[in-house]
Amino acid sequence: QGGAITGRVVDEQGQPLLGASVQVKELRRTASTDEDGRFALPDIANGTYTVAVTYVGYLPAEKRVPVSGAEQVADFELKPDEQFLSEVVVIGYGTQQRRDLTGSVATVSSREFQSGTITTPEQLIAGKVAGVQITSSGGRPGAGSTIRVRAGASLNASNDPLIVVDGVPLAVGEVPGVSNPLSLINPNDIETFTVLKDANATAIYGSRASNGVILITTKKGTGSRTAINFSTQHALATVDRKVDVLSADQIRDYVNANGSEAQKQLLGSANTDWQNEIYRPAYTTDNNLSIAGRAGDLPYRVSAGFLNQDGVLMSDRLQRTSAAISASPMLFNNTLKVDINLKGSHTRSRFANQDGIGASIQFDPTQPVRTDNAFGGYWEWLQYDADNDRHVPNPNAPRNPVGLIELKDDQGDAYRSFGNIQLDYALPFVEGLHANLNLGYDVSRGKGGVFIPAIAAQRFSTAGEVTRYQTDIFNRVGEFYLNYTRQLAGINGHINATAGYGYYDNKSRINNYNRTSEDGTVLSEPAFPFDEPQNRLISYYGRLIYTHADRYILSGTIRTDGSSRFASENRWGVFPSVGLTWRIRDEPFLRDNRVFSDLKLRLSYGVTGQQDGIANYSYLPNYVSSANESMYQFGDTFYYMHTPLAYDRDIRWESTATYNAGIDYGFLDGRIHGSVDVYFKKTKDLLSVIPIPVGTNFSNLLLTNVGNMENSGVEWSINTTPVRGEAFTWDVGFNFTFNTNKVTNLTNVDDPNYLIEQGGITGSTGNHIQAHVVNYAPYSFRVHKQVYDQNGRPLEGVYADLNGDGTINDDDRYFYKSPLPRYLLGFTSQLEYRQFTLTTVLRANIGNYVYDNVSSNFGSRYNVLDPNGPINNAPVDFLNTGFVQKQYTSDYYIHNASFLKMDNLSLSYRIDNLLRGSGSSLTVSANVQNVFTVTKYKGVDPEISNGIDNQFYPRPRTFTLGLNLGF
Amino acid sequence: CSQNLDLVPTNDITADMAFSTPEGYKSALAKVYGSFATTSGRGPGESDLGGIDAGTSDFLRLYWNAQELTTDEAICAWLGDPGIPDLNYMSWNSSHIMLRGLYTRSIYQITVANEFLRESTDEKLNQRGISGPEAQEIAHYRLEARFLRAFQYWVLMDLFGNPPFITETDGIGKVPPRQITRAELFGYVESELLDLETQLNDAHQNEYGRADKAAAWALLARMYLNAETYLGTGNGKYTEAITYATKVIDAGYALMENYRHLFLADNDQNNPEVILSINYDGIQTQNNGGTTFLINSSVHSSMGPASFGIPNGGWGGNRSRSTLPLAFDDHSGATDTRAMFMGDQLDIEDPSLFTQGLAVAKFRNVTSSGENGRSVNGVFCSTDFPLFRLAEQYLIYAEAVLRGGNGGSTAQAIAYINRLRERAYGNTSGNVTSISLDGILNERSRELYWEAFRRTDLIRYGRFTSGDYLWPFKGGVANGAGVESYRTLFPIPAADLIANPNLTQNTGY
């Protein structure tokens, strides 16, 4: 005698789950659910059984079911598996479950973002992803960052990753009027970052993918309940580290001991700390309101934000007003899914004159800030102009740092809007076939100007300066693809195929204006009133993912791109990739394994391209008419010069071949999980500025495709939950990156000594401290080897004769270290105890070196006792060297700048059910950013992306109090 | 769809558009000339050349440094700037950034001239519907483009000896040009100039700033005077030097009455002496090289930059070595007015200190009536630089006579030298009754100092590298020391040796 067990498996929302596996454990009988989520297990002998349900992406569920002759109903409501395996990951033109990924893909969602005062989106994930280095350019509000995914793949073209927001590739390049175009995106609207790293993941983006792809998904309205969220943050930023310079008394002592009588006469009696004069504590407020919900059948989210951030450098300010709307209705019986995203923002910036930073280090501390003079009352180094019987600023002296800042009014407004409408239609008649149309835009306008009054010493030469600018940028995106998925029951397979077309048009209009003095006298006049550079990309792409027996996944992509930047014969590039994934965990031999919750092997190979950074029309043999200040006189008439431009008809794509092997692993029910990736990238046809035989073109250097570079590395990430309890949970994440790269070819003629100078330094004309050279990392420092005396003091001008020819000259410079870190480490900890959450983020770079241009430029006797007149200050390093003359090329100034930083320490307290039953919550948080830095480097900050420390805008320490109210 | 990928720039134009009108040809000719007056067509902050600081990539700045800093006339204080110490101390090598810049600048101007010649053939003019007097005028432009090309080949021959060789028959592309020997190049430049001297506009008949027959004669005379340097001892062409110097002298030029006025901001006006100049303007031909460099680098803030027409300038770099003022019997300027020195410390202990060594106040951005020269910012200068002037031709004549050339006389030579000295002294008190080769060399220094002649002169006299003739800091030694004899030629830049497999390095480097 027996009965039956039937039932229905649904998800949290009551939606049926198709294909869930239902097992009667004791009998080893299984069934799967139908489209309605129903299952039936007939002919069950009487007894009590354990019925277990499993479904990918959901937590397994079990029930004890007594069977006594009749049909027994057992319904299951599965809860989503919080584990990230089931997470749906955005990939190019579609989504995939994490467990099925074939490429190297990392995601960071809003819960894991860096907290505190984050003005610009990329900073949300600093230190969070193995293989991704994000280095802000400094402490200016909204400062841009150098983003490097696997250290970049280019030398002369762009190394920036492609950034795609909700399917719209963002325009590349600067927007005038704002320090960083990404700061026009409100970080509070962002839900997830997905970083595509290997070629299998990126190659669907073809020619723009060599430097990795970052997909940003913004927050959407989802639930049925209306959720209102308001947050407000108030922050105070302070400068904690300044350049250590000599005090006023030290300068007085030095000048009195070493200076001439005339120089002693120049000393003042003040004690001015010029850095204190230009830096200030700066206040920031950031307020955001969002409403997400469903209006009828229309899920929506609207948000608005207002940011007002002062910079620690006097007068610096960024104001941002932003708004976002998203709506994602399902139409026609859920066959048409519509996604609409619109973002808009306006920033108003005042850019402090950063020349004040260098001047504040150099300016004589014995002089007062203010005095009575004709230059706005700022004390300046003057000289007598006998012809006009007046005192004028000494053109060879630094300018008063406070005057530099206060008398330069540099303001910009930037407007940016981007958005798209994406239509995904499940075609009738053919099951599993979707058509997807995505139309997007990204427009911005940047405008502004600079005003310097005639009284300002900094523009004394031109009686002030007035400039203005306006640029409009207009980018259009059109994409259409078909996606087809089908279960191939006969062969236990599944295919997911995509084929599409893309059209990308980037156009700007740059208006040119006169530069005038304060009274309107024209100083320079543009040759053309405007320019309209434009480039266009047309693409065809396809992807096939074949999954066999849920364990073997083969994925291939191909993209062909045509670019307007190249001549017709080089225009089209083909970028294929293939990836193979083996879900070892799902093999029968591991089915009962309790140790592994996940084990997956990924292998991939692919080719990607790169064209950003190449001028729009460099293959065309064109002439340009000259500027108004570049004319030539015949007789009494000035003629414009028709100038032929250097061009390379053969310029074409850079292409990067990437090999990647990775393992995704999980242990103990996912309490430990992570991945390891090993990669090797080989870039060929690298754009390199090479010397061409002089006389063969209209320059001696030409950007052309000759270089090769290799990049290899290891990435490891591990996320663990050491403690998981009702009241107390502790999550710890750690990531590690090792990267090494070297240039393997630079010219079309084989010469190991050929180098391309990089890294121009401040203080002299034409000095470079870095170079690209074969067999070294790009941007390796190229320096003389300093010789030291017995006491370890550097001997001025004494360098090792490395080539042994008896003389010391440029040929004795050698390659010593590079600014690129060898190892990147990131550490995240999150402790939750009841309503308290304590998080911290630490980052370390190891093996990065910095050239101390501040000390090399100012640390000499002839800087302090300047033969051109003024007395100047020097960094304390001067006391170590005592150099008389500047020794720019000494390796003495190359320093190990490895560091450990605590980016962030944050404590928050959450009160749920603030108003009973309303689902409201209040979170109060306190946060410190840039908590500490451990480094041997003595300059202001060891983290300098180009490795040349000069006039660095200090990254402030920021204290933030925040309040978040949700209901 | 691929049609959509043919995009064209907004403001740049194709060659056919650039040359569609006679005016277009004149603008293209302006570029052929402007290539030695500007660093680029996009303002003073940009450069036609790569691998060098834009402001340093100007012809005159580089040429002047190579011809003067390497000699007993000048030294520069900017020891931190790459390339400067090597010129001061005669220790340059093949990666020297400024020598590479100069080589590149000269060949750049040749390349632009070649392009002009390709675009101005009769066939192209026909295609573009340009004929009649306009076509004839463009034919003259062609001759001048060829003259400027010959001038730059002369520069290359003089400084680098054996440069790559390209003409209008070599198109734009990546095929490396062949190397030409110094002797072969001499023959080429000579044949070009001999062809041009009959076709160019007559002396004084061209616009100011454009080459005429006298320019070709003047260059021929200069080249013949140095023929032994280029072709080897015993291959002198002093008779030819006299012939062509005489053609210039007889062409109606006259000495500028006041020597100082040759080097002022209005030297483009009423100037009877200059045959061809490089033209600068502090507003419309801005340049951080050229005379802007020459004037600003010679003036220090303590010298009152305003009195030099550069109220906001004065970079304090170049000044004299003691040998230069001591070439004058009286360097105060009280007798020989060509001595225009400032300062009180003749000798240099520390080359990085501008105030050691007398400053040279020869070039100024003020007009003969005392006004400031045109300048947008009180730094850029409007003084034109004389490439060829009558005084040099007198000196060529005299020296060629002394060196045994036919067709001239010692008496005439002495008369020419005395014309220069009478102008300098304002009377005949400085006149000479006899001349010697050594005397001519010194006279050249007094007359032509800081006009970028000195290195060539010292080489012709065998005094450039040897230990027999020393000056302060020659060879990097305070009292002076001889250097390797191969330094009479500069090296072919390493970058071009790598790029162009047809090139062989000059001996010694």
More reliable by pLDDT, A753 or A239:
A239
Last residue of a domain, one of A23, A48, A77: A77
Kindly state whether residue B354 falls inside one of the protein's structural domains.
Answer: no
What interface predicted TM-score (ipTM) does this complex get?
0.95
Does residue B39 lie within any of the structural domains? yes
Shared-domain flag, residues A98 and A192: yes
Residue B255 lies in a domain: no
A52 in the same domain as A106: no
Nearest one of B208, B253, B212, B263 to B382, comparing CA atoms: B263
Q: Answer yes or no: is B144 within a domain.
A: yes
Query: Which residues of B fall within a CB distance of 8 Å from A564?
Result: 4-7
Question: Which residue range forms the structural domain that includes residue B42?
Answer: 13-196+485-509
Do A179 and A132 share a structural domain?
Answer: yes
Q: Please give the backbone phi and psi of residue A237, each rounded to the nearest 5 degrees, phi first.
A: -110, 140
Do both A197 and A165 map to the same domain? Answer: yes
Asked whether residue A196 falls in the same domain as residue A91, the answer is yes
How far apart are the C-alpha atoms of B335 and A140, rounded to whole Å? Answer: 62
Do A88 and A207 share a domain, yes or no? Answer: yes
pLDDT in tens, A325-344: 999 888 888 889 899 999 99
Is residue A56 predicted with pLDDT exceeding 70? no
Cα distance between residue A359 and residue B456, in whole Å = 44
Nearest by CB to B301, from A383, A645, A888: name it. Answer: A383
State the pLDDT at residue A345.
94
The reply to whether A125 and A184 lie within a common domain is yes
| Domain match, A70 and A92 both | no
Q: Which of B301, B307, B310 to mutate to test the interface with A (most CBs of A within 10 A)?
A: B301
Q: Is the pLDDT of residue A655 over 60?
A: yes
Tokens of B124: 């192209």
**pLDDT, mean of residues A678-687:** 90
Say if B462 is an interface residue toward chain A (CB within 8 Å): no
Q: Do B284 and A633 touch (CB under 8 A)?
A: yes
The domain that holds A62 is classified in CATH as: 2.60.40.10
Which CATH number belongs to the domain containing residue A196 in this structure? 2.170.130.10
Q: Which among A170, A87, A157 has a CA at the least distance from the CA of A121?
A: A170
* Domain region containing A152: 84-218
Which distant-in-sequence residues (6+ apart) come within 8 Å of B497 by Cβ? B94, B503, B505
In this prediction the pTM is 0.86
Task: Output the 3-class SS for A72-136.
Answer: EECCEECCECCCHHHCEEEECCEEEEHHHCCCCEEEEEHHHCCCCCCCCHHHHHCCCCCCEEEEE
Tokens 């290359």 correspond to B156
Q: Which residues of A touch B352 (CB under 8 A)?
A: 862, 867, 885
Do A61 and A175 share a domain, yes or no? Answer: no
Contact B111 A460 (CB under 8 A): no
- Taking residues A283-312, report their average pLDDT: 91
Q: Is residue B258 domain-resident? A: no
Q: Is A418 inside a domain boundary? A: no
| Residue A869 confidence (pLDDT) above 90 | no
Measuring CA to CA, which residue among A261, A262, A339, A334 is closest to residue A299? A339
In chain A, which residues have their Cβ closer than 8 Å to the Cβ of B376? 462, 523-524, 629
What's the confidence (pLDDT) of residue A223? 62
| Nearest residue of A to residue B111, measured between CA atoms | A695
Lowest mean pLDDT among A29-43, A183-197, A345-359, B55-69: A29-43
Q: Is residue A912 part of a domain?
A: no
Cβ separation A536–B5 shorter than 8 A: yes
CA of B116: which chain A residue's CA is closest?
A644
Last residue of a domain, one of A77, A111, A138: A77
Q: Give the pair of three-digit tokens for residue A943.
A: 């983290």
Torsion of CA B348, B351, B354, B356, to 10 degrees: -10
Mean pLDDT, residues A100-108: 86
Is the residue at B87 inside a domain? Answer: yes
pLDDT at A109 over 90: no
8 Å CB contact of B31 and A626: yes
For A870, nearest residue in chain B (alpha carbons)? B301
Q: Which of residues 411-450 of B touch A (CB under 8 A)?
A: none
- Is A322 domain-assigned? no
A625 to B11: CB separation less than 8 angstroms, yes or no? yes
What is the distance in angstroms between the Cα of B93 and the nearest Cα belonging to chain A? 8
- Residues A112 and A73 both lie in one domain: no
Chains A, B: CB pairs < 8 Å? 325
Give the domain-ending residue among A54, A77, A100: A77
> Does A65 map to a domain?
yes
A-facing residues of B in 231-250 (CB < 8 A) are none
Instruction: Work out the angle at residue A876's Cα, subtended by the Cα atoms of residues A793 and A937, and round it to the nearest 5 degrees.
Output: 80
| Assigned domain for B463 exists | no
* Same domain (yes/no): A29, A123: no
Q: How many whole angstroms separate alpha carbon A158 and alpha carbon A615?
A: 11
Beta carbons of A625 and B41 less than 8 Å apart: yes
Other residues' Cβ atoms within 10 Å of the Cβ of residue A372? 6
In chain A, % of residues over pLDDT 70 = 98
Nearest Cα of chain B lies from the Cα of A887 at a distance, in angstroms, of: 7
* Chain A residue with Cα closest to B354: A867
**Beta carbons of B306 and A563 less than 8 Å apart:** no
**Total of domains in chain A:** 2
Whether B261 maps to a domain, the answer reads: no
CATH number at residue B58: 1.25.40.390
Alpha-carbon distance A3 to B192, whole Å?
113
Mean pLDDT of A925-933: 95
Interchain contact, B302 vs A383, CB within 8 Å? yes
The domain tally of chain B equals 1
B41/A869 touch (CB, cutoff 8 Å), yes or no:
no
Which of B10, B24, B166 minimises the CB distance to A532? B10
pLDDT digits (tens), chain B, 509 positions: 445 888 888 888 888 888 999 999 999 999 999 999 999 998 899 999 988 889 999 999 999 999 999 999 999 999 888 899 999 999 999 989 999 999 999 999 999 999 999 999 999 999 999 999 999 999 999 999 999 999 999 999 999 999 999 999 998 886 899 999 999 999 999 999 999 999 999 999 999 999 999 999 999 999 999 999 999 999 999 999 999 999 999 999 999 999 999 999 999 999 999 999 999 999 999 999 999 999 999 999 888 888 999 988 899 999 999 999 999 999 999 999 999 999 989 999 999 999 999 999 999 999 999 999 999 888 999 999 999 999 999 999 999 999 999 999 999 999 999 999 999 999 999 999 999 999 999 999 999 999 999 999 999 999 999 999 999 999 999 999 999 999 999 999 988 998 899 999 999 99
Torsion, Cα of A940, A944, A946, A948 (10° steps):
10
Looking at the domain assignment, is residue A93 inside a domain?
yes
Q: Which residues of A touch B209 (CB under 8 A)?
A: 632-635
A848 CA: distance to closest CA in chain B (Å): 26
Which of B268, B377, B483 is most worth mutating to test chain A (most A CB atoms within 10 A of its CB)? B377
Contact A811 B93 (CB under 8 A): yes
Contacts of B41 in chain A (CB under 8 A): 624-627, 630, 641, 643
Residue A51 maps to a domain: yes
Give the list of residues 6+ apart from residue A946 with CB closer than 8 angstroms, or none.
Answer: A759, A779, A819
Burial of A846 (C-beta count, 10 Å sphere; 0-12/13-18/19+): middle
